[in-house]
Structure 1
Amino acid sequence: MSTAAGPEIWFYHLERSTLDQVLPGLLEKTRERGWRALVRASDARLLHDIDERLWTYRDESFLAHGRASDPHAERQPILLTESTENPNAAQALFIVDGAELGDTESLERCFIIFDGRDETSLQGARARWKTLKDGGANLAYWKQSPEGRWEKAA
């Protein structure tokens, strides 16, 4: 449920897993809630790689999705984009490379996924956390246990 301060903003600190391993599962959980998702990146090559991965990450299934530049983007349950717009009326936003959050008022939850093994990504996430916290955002921080389970740490 959204709060007056906007959506829940969850930071996912990748240490043991890669984006390719984590993102499909988070998108599946989002779809199980009945939510649409928007995956935003500032790097077109990364979006291309995510596009390919969502079709092939599991032998027996795929995650239906499209690109914002494709026809009927507004119909897609999962939309990949570089834009700060929300053409598919997504309730969940996934930031995967430090892209801008943009307007979050219509969202239920934002996921900021960052690679803790990359110093630039780590510093960017820390700065973003501080800015959002100072602005009164509803934040949570998730990290992986040694067994690979996600645990809420803050």
Structure 2
Amino acid sequence: MRVDFYQLGGAQPDSVIAAIAGRLLGEEQRLLVVASDEALLARLDRLLWDQGATSFLPHGLAGGADDTAQPILLSTGADAPNLARNILIADGEWRDSALAYERAFYLFDEETLEGARLSWKLLAGREGVERNYWAQEDGKWVKKA
């Protein structure tokens, strides 16, 4: 299982999430985006709809009739009715349930930095967990660890 830590710095989480989701869709993979803040999920919902006709990212908010059919599902919970093997933690709050996925994208900012550091340390000793740390330099994501 792979966990990619993304330190947002000046990057907007919405654009990072859209980029990751778009890349996974291009690889015909599914994604569960998790945040405890429903307002953040609503903002992401609008963003993914407003990508334009050529870059629309098909998705839905959890709790709908078509959850199982959604390539990207936005949810407050870490269960994936869409059978996603990728989870994106959008609110900087680590969830151990992410370890059940093949890959986790863990976004954090200055407010959630201490929690991310703790999660990094706790995951260091977990068997079968590969950790990667990414930060932006000159507008590009650079692997730092």
Give the CA deviation at 1:151: 1.0
The two structures have a TM-score, normalised by structure 1, of 0.86
The two structures have a TM-score, normalised by structure 2, of 0.91
Give 1:13-92 correspondences, 5 Å limit: 13-58=7-52, 60-92=54-86
Q: Does 1:126 align with 2:117?
A: yes
| Gap regions ≥5 residues in structure 2 | none
Count of residue correspondences: 143
2:136–2:142 contact (8 Å) kept in structure 1: yes
In structure 2, what is the equivalent of residue 139 of structure 1? 131
Query: Which of 96, 99, 118 matches 1:104?
Result: 99
Give the CA deviation at 1:99: 5.0
Residues 103 and 26 (structure 1), Cα distance of their counterparts in 2 relative to 1, 3 Å cut? closer
| Gap regions ≥5 residues in structure 1 | 1-6
In structure 1, what is the equivalent of residue 141 of structure 2? 150
SS at match of 1:102: helix
Give the CA deviation at 1:15: 1.3
